[in-house]
Amino acid sequence: MNIKMEILKLKMWQLKELYERKEVKPSEVVSLLLEEIYKKDKEIHSYLYVNEKAIEEAKKVDEKIVKGEKLKKIEGIPVSIKDNICTKDIPTTCASKILQNFIPPYDATVIERLKEEGAIIIGKTNMDEFAFGSSTENSAFGPTKNPFDYSRVPGGSSGGSAAAVCANLCFASLGSDTGGSIRQPSAFCGVVGTKPTYGRVSRYGLIAFASSLDQIGPITKDVRDNAFLLKIISGKDKMDSTSVDIDVPDYTEFLKGDIKDMKIGIPKEYFIEGIDEEVKVKVYDIIKILENGGAKIEEISLPHTSYGIATYYIIATAEASSNLARFDGVKYGYRNNDYKNLMEMYMKTRGEGFGEEVKRRIILGTYVLSSGYYEAYYLKAQKVRTLIKKDFEGAFKKVDVIITPTTPELPFKIGEKKDDPLKMYLSDIFTVNVNLSGLPGMSLPVGFSSSNLPIGIQIISPYFREDIMMKVSYFIENELDGGKNG
């Protein structure tokens, strides 16, 4: 085995230790990574854009190391970014033809925070167009493949980010999660993905899908990296009025100690008919590990769970139809040049610029907001959203965290659900209610199926208690790893 290539398998915290011991240069790591991306990503297609300037940035960090200067938290570490998060002077397309040549003049707040700590942006990752999808098949630039099986999807919409982390084509990534778009692909690709509490991380510079649901979060190789990265990107931002001014703890401090007497809730509504048997067995295996660790397992009920998908797709499409009205060919992005009047320019631009799934969701959202249907659909969905939220609030009076499967299935074949949108929407059945409630949730890889496909479990904690979520996740990860994490 090539020892240099083994470097790419390291976690962020391990790479940082190598830098501090001067055992490897950041420029060497970036060179190796670019070489691997050009070789491997032709097949996986996790990237839409690769940042060639990363080498120059890495050489500046080399100089700091030679001089013995102290490195910032993630200085010289290459991370990738989902292509709906604005990056100054680097294309941001949302995997859509309508934004194909768009280069933002500013960085999203999360990108500013990464750069402040010395991160190197290695590239922008593929996704479902405007984050509409659960498979990364809806990208205008072609699908991403699952690194474990190229005939299968990596999940979506942050499928490119999850696949890049899984295939060691970056050391970590940022994704966005509106209804499960970090957690579901993390489960399908066997990596750790967190959707923080709504308001924990600034959305400034995230191209909006559904503003009351979207959150940016980290996708990493292990829980420690996840906790580390979440701390860096979290916190109040004056540019985002929905970000909350609450102290952000150092999440890595919670990655220790036992879980004795912690109360773990298992919602009966999440073990539905049709769930893959191997997924169900793996979740019960984890419950047993938690029980053996001294946790108290309690069956709970979240009675409005079954209404989540319908509620989510009414609210999410309504907000999407409003948010996507700005892409009209006037201000930025693609414009059709063969038109006779303004209305024709709008229609041709949007007709050619948007893909099939985007058009479907705009039509659905416009319909549920239209006169005569607003109260019947949108208003009713908002009322049910409140009931779903109250279910969780009631449950957290009894338990510390809730454990569920992340997905009801294993990674499915590319093309398997492409012509059946309703079947595709059900991929998010276990994740959407977390977004509707604004709660934090994360997906943790817990093993493989008999066909060597990854399985993930979801851990949900109360508002702004990502620390508990990280603690439980780290305990599980450590037990599965035979105590190698400490």
pLDDT exceeds cutoff 70 at 297:
yes
* pLDDT score for 486: 47
Above pLDDT 90, what percent of the chain?
93
The tokens describing 463, both together, are 């508002």
Domain count, the chain: 1
Question: To the nearest whole percent, how much of the chain has pLDDT over 70?
Answer: 98
pLDDT of residue 3: 62
* Average pLDDT, integer, range 229-254: 97
| Residues contacting residue 403 through CB under 8 Å, at least 6 positions apart | 264, 265, 266, 283, 286, 287, 290, 457, 458, 459, 460
- Above 70 in pLDDT, residue 338? yes
Least confident of 50-54, 96-100, 356-360, 372-376: 372-376
Residue 274 has pLDDT above 90, yes or no: no
Q: Mean pLDDT throughout 352-371? A: 96
Q: Quick one: average pLDDT of 252-271? A: 94
Q: Is the pLDDT of residue 473 over 80?
A: yes
Tell me which residue has tokens 């997905």.
Answer: 407
Lowest mean pLDDT among 65-69, 91-95, 419-423: 419-423
Q: Helix, strand or coil for residue 413?
A: strand
At 421, the pLDDT band (50, 70, 90 cuts) reads confident
Q: Quick one: pLDDT at residue 90? A: 97
- HEC profile for 40-108? HHHHHCCEEEECCCHHHHHHHHHHHHHCCCCCCCCCCCEEEEECCECECCECCCCCCHHHCCCCCCCCC
CATH number, domain of 294, equals 3.90.1300.10
pLDDT tens digits, residue range 158-173? 999 999 999 999 999 9
The pLDDT assigned to 485 comes to 56
211-215 own/partner pairs: CB under 8 Å, 24+ apart: 211/242, 211/319, 211/323, 212/315, 212/319, 213/178, 213/179, 213/312, 213/315, 213/316, 213/319, 213/435, 213/436, 214/131, 214/176, 214/177, 214/178, 215/176, 215/177, 215/178, 215/435
**pLDDT tens, 26-67?**
999 999 999 999 999 999 999 999 999 999 999 999 999 999
Mean pLDDT of 75-97: 98
pLDDT digits (tens, 9 = 90+) for 106-154: 999 999 999 999 999 999 999 999 999 999 999 999 999 999 999 999 9
pLDDT value of position 314? 97
**Which of the four pLDDT bands, split at 50, 70 and 90, describes residue 5?**
confident
**Residue-range definition of the domain harbouring residue 474:** 1-486
- Hey, which residues does 175 pair with through a beta bridge? 217
Q: Is the pLDDT of residue 241 over 50?
A: yes
Q: What is the pLDDT of residue 483?
A: 56
Active site residues: 82, 157, 181
| Mean pLDDT over the full length of the chain | 96
Q: Mean pLDDT, to the nearest integer, of 296-307?
A: 97
Rounded CA-CA distance 418/276 in Å is: 20
Q: What is the pLDDT of residue 484?
A: 57
Q: Which region among 91-100, 152-161, 326-335, 375-384 has the lowest average model confidence (pLDDT)?
A: 326-335
Q: Distance between terminal CA atoms of the chain? A: 27
Query: What mean pLDDT is predicted for residues 177-203?
Result: 98
Q: For residue 1, what pLDDT band results from cuts at 50, 70 and 90?
A: very low
- pLDDT at position 331 is 86
* Residue 365 near residue 374 (C-beta atoms within 8 A): no
Tell me what the mean pLDDT of segment 249-265 comes to.
95
**Higher per-residue pLDDT: 477 or 425:** 477
What are 139-149's pLDDT values in tens digits?
999 999 999 99
